[in-house]
């Protein structure tokens, strides 16, 4: 069965994300556990967590993904931002465990002067500080790679997987990939792109695709 769904809202309770997903006829989905624009802890009550799990099971909706805060920067050389990012990530994987969500999705962030290799080292070591519950996997999401942001190339994504002792997997965002120079405009281009991914990282590490349109033709 093809698993395809939308990013849905937890406004009014995380269980509402399942109801919204069912309105779209989705059978999997993604949520934010809190506003992604601020440093904030997930605040998910036991009752709504139970309702989320039950509704998902009863309607065969899953797997779900939690997308982390946009403020998280795993590549940063700045100690304070690094600690905030690790703390935020830890709370996200714990929330995923509470909700029986198998994936937490994160962008690598920007190296802001540490260099590509230094940024990848920073990201891998930050992830290794997490205590990831059994049944939860961190997904590294591809980025457009603008400025000093990392994750725009398969080489950079694979570099974190190679450096990190955690069992990591990958989420590919089609709009980000296209902006980063991967040709997804034709069936042949898609075949070539995913063959390259398989060669550099391995399709066994591809757990999720953000299927997004692009502002560019």
pTM of the shown model:
0.95
In a domain, 115, yes or no: yes
In a domain, 41, yes or no: no
Residues in Cβ contact with 206 at an 8 Å cutoff, skipping those fewer than 6 apart? 169, 170, 172, 197
The residue segments making up the domain with residue 81 are 64-210
In a domain, 53, yes or no: no
Q: Residue 217: is its pLDDT beyond 80?
A: no
If you search the block for the tokens 């509402």, which residue do you land on?
Answer: 16
Among left, alpha and beta (phi > 0; psi -120 to 50; other), residue 208 is beta
How many Å apart are CA 119 and CA 149, to the nearest integer? 9
* pLDDT per position as a tens digit, 77-110: 999 999 999 999 999 999 999 999 999 999 999 9
In a domain, 192, yes or no: yes
In a domain, 22, yes or no: no
CATH number for the domain harbouring residue 130: 3.20.20.150
Q: Residue 216: is its pLDDT beyond 80?
A: no
Q: Residue 150: is its pLDDT beyond 80?
A: yes
């Amino acid at each position: 069965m093809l698993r395809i769904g939308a990013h849905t809202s937890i406004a009014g309770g995380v269980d509402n994300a399942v109801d919204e997903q069912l309105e779209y006829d989705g059978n999997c989905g993604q949520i934010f556990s809190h506003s992604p624009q601020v440093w904030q802890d997930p605040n998910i009550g036991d009752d709504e967590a139970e309702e989320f799990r039950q509704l998902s099971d009863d309607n065969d909706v899953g797997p779900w993904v939690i997308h982390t805060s946009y403020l998280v920067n795993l590549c940063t050389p700045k100690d304070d931002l690094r600690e905030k990012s690790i703390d935020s990530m830890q709370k996200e994987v714990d929330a995923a465990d509470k909700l029986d969500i198998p994936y937490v999705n994160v962008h690598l962030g920007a190296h802001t002067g540490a260099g590509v290799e230094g940024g990848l080292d920073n990201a891998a070591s930050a992830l290794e500080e997490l205590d990831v519950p059994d049944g939860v996997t961190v997904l590294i999401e591809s980025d457009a790679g603008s400025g000093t942001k990392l994750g725009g190339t398969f080489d950079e994504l694979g570099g974190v997987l190679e450096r990190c002792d955690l069992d990591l997997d990958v989420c590919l965002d089609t709009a980000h990939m296209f902006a980063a120079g991967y040709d997804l405009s034709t069936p042949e281009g898609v075949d070539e792109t995913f063959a390259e991914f398989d060669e550099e990282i391995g399709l066994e590490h591809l757990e999720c695709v953000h299927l997004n349109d692009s502002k560019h033709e």
